[in-house]
Every structure is written in C-alpha cells, then in structure tokens.
Amino acid sequence: MVEITISEIASLAGVSVATVSRVLNDSSTVSERTKQKVLSIMEEYNYAPNLLGRHLRTQKTRLILVILTTISNYFCNRVVAGIDEEARKNGYQTLICMTNDNAQIESSYIDMLKNGLADGAIIMSSIMSKEDMHTLANRYSVVQCSEYVDTDSPYVTIDNEQAAYDAVDYLIKSGRRRIAYCGVRNHMISSKVRFDGYIRALRENGIEPDWSIIFDGDYGFRSAYRLTEEHIKNGAKFDGLFSISDRMASGAVSAIHSQGLNVPDDVAVVGFDNTDAAYMTNPPLTTVSQPRRELGVEAMKSLLARFEGEIPENKVLKHELIIRNSTN
C-alpha cells in the first residue's frame, strides 16, 4: 500500500517535480512533448497524487460535509442530491456525516471542519445550541439547510409555520372543525413552528385549541399509531388530523382504520414532506411538499457565496400542499 510519489515520477520522466506538478494541474506552460512523457509514466506506474500533500500546501480540500441526524429518510436523500449536484458543478465533493443526534458524534464531525479537513459544511440537523452555532458559523463556512438552530447564521428553508397553517386551514376550509395534532416535542425549530402554524390556523378560523387532541411522539409510524389508537379508545373525537411527518400520519391512518373509522370520511389526514410514506399509505396522503432538490442546491449556492467572502442572504423557498385522497 505504499504509493509512488511525485518525485519518483519526476526522476522516472527525467524532469523536475515542478514540471510534474504543472502537468498535474494542467498548467499551459509545459511543452506537449514533456507533458506526454510525464503522462505516460504516470499511467505506467498508476500514479495517484497524494492529496494530503496538496491539501496541506493549498490549505483547501474542496470537500463539503453534510451533517444530518439519520440517512433513513427519503427527504434528505433528495436534498443531498441537490447539494452534491451543485457542489460537483463547482469542483467540490460531498461527504455525508450521520450524527444520530449524538452530541459527541456531531462534534467529531464539526471538528473535521475546524481541523481543516473540509472547506465547509451544510448542517441539516444539529443539537448544537443557538450560541454554539453562531460562533461556529462566524468562524467557518457553514450553512443551515431545511432545519436550523440560529436565525442569525445563514440558512435555507421553507416557511414551516405557514406550511402547517396552510395544511390545517385546508382541513378547516373543507369542513373539519375538530383537528388533532400529531407531532414531536423536541429541539427542532421546525417541530415548534409547525405547531405554531397549527394553532394560528385554528384561532384565525375561530377554533380554540383543544389540548386533549394534541399529541406528541417521535417521528415514527408506531409511535403515531399508538398515540392515535389510545386517544380514540379514550373517547377523543376529531374529524381531522394534521401531522408533522408522513410516517406519523401514516401511523395515524392505520390506527384510525383499526378503530373501525374511515379516512377521509370520518377523519381527514394531512402529513408533511411528501415522502414515499405518503403514497404507500392507503388512501394516499395529502401532504406538504418541500422543494427538496432546490433546498440542497440553494444551500450549496449559499456556501459557495460564503467561500467568496460574502454573507449569504437567508432563503425561504416555496412549499406546496399536495392534495390526495386522505382528505376530500
């Protein structure tokens, strides 16, 4: 596993390392003849330049970290694809860091940024405090994407409050009055403001929130299933349900059916994110769709701007309510 180096290539080709380096970097000032000779030696010896040397010299790695909680997620898949697409266009490579919301793991990846191993990071979820994020984003090239913890550092997202409002307002406008909420109580801003949007939609339509039909679990199917089942068994009445994730909405639908009720006739259900869970559910879920690929592309564009020394403007992209048969 010991590799051939630039200086060995140089002597084999009978030129200086400087010339080999020029060939490597496509510098025009090298004659076609020497260039070909060097290239053929490289070929023959299977030369792969050691990037550690280059990186140390240039103090750049052209590597981007994408930091997120978990990869088991159709949503972030498309966002990352957008990031990677835009990154490659500009000569960068993307590396995904999965933190599982573990502080130690997360900071080990953040350290990679601090230690010069990557030129920048796009943070899709973090358990950092607002202050830590602020300090970090001040010193390093960081953009928050989709989820964010500090509003004073660059971010790209949708208007989660308005999106939730739109979903709930749609339920009300289509005749529902008792609308349950199935969410997650955690550190995420999106969880929080989606709840705010739910409350605002109720109030603006003259409905007082009823805490007995507001439940919190984790993002999972089973959690939502159990919560919904339990509430119905305990006599909770609702004719609509808004959930902050498709998976939870899907769990709710299953639970509703298991209790002999029908979706959408008895309960109309709206999910969030337009993931595959939305159309795997029967009936397929009405859901809020985020412009996933675009979120990634725009986040990467912001990061590139940051590299140029600019302070990128925050971006709020358009969401969309996708109507399917879980509502009518």
Write out the residues near a second copy by the rule CB under 8 A.
Answer: 1, 3, 48-53, 55-56, 59, 61, 70-74, 76-78, 80-81, 84, 88, 93-98, 100, 105, 108-109, 111-112, 114-117, 139-141, 220-222, 247, 250-251, 254, 257, 276-277, 279-282
Nearer to a second copy, 16 or 70 (CB): 70
- Is residue 307 involved in binding DNA (CB under 7 A)? no
Q: What is the spatial distance between Cα 229 and Cα 49, in angstroms, rounded to a whole number?
A: 60
- Is residue 72 involved in binding DNA (CB under 7 A)? no
* Minimum distance, C-beta of residue 322 to a second copy, in the bound complex (Å): 15
């690929």: which residue's tokens?
Answer: 293
Q: Residue 241's closest CA among 218, 211, 264?
A: 264
User: Residue 205 touches which of a second copy, DNA, none (CB < 5 to 8 A by kind)?
Assistant: none
Maximum C-alpha span of the chain: 87
Nearer to DNA, 14 or 175 (CB): 14
Degrees, nearest 5: CA angle 266-270-276: 120
Q: What is the spatial distance between Cα 174 and Cα 237, in angstroms, rounded to a whole number?
A: 18
- Is residue 7 involved in binding DNA (CB under 7 A)? yes
Annotate each residue in 37-66 with x if it binds DNA (CB under 7 A) or - if it does not, as one string: ------------xx-xxx-xxxx-------
């793991």: which residue's tokens?
Answer: 105
**270 within 8 A of 289, measured Cβ to Cβ:** no
List all residues 6 or more positions away from 71 whose beta carbon is below 8 Å from its beta carbon: 77, 96, 98
Site size toward DNA (CB under 7 A) is 30
Q: What is the spatial distance between Cα 287 and Cα 93, in angstroms, rounded to a whole number?
A: 33
Residues engaged in binding DNA (CB under 7 A): 3, 5-7, 14-19, 21-22, 24-25, 28-31, 33-35, 49-50, 52-54, 56-59
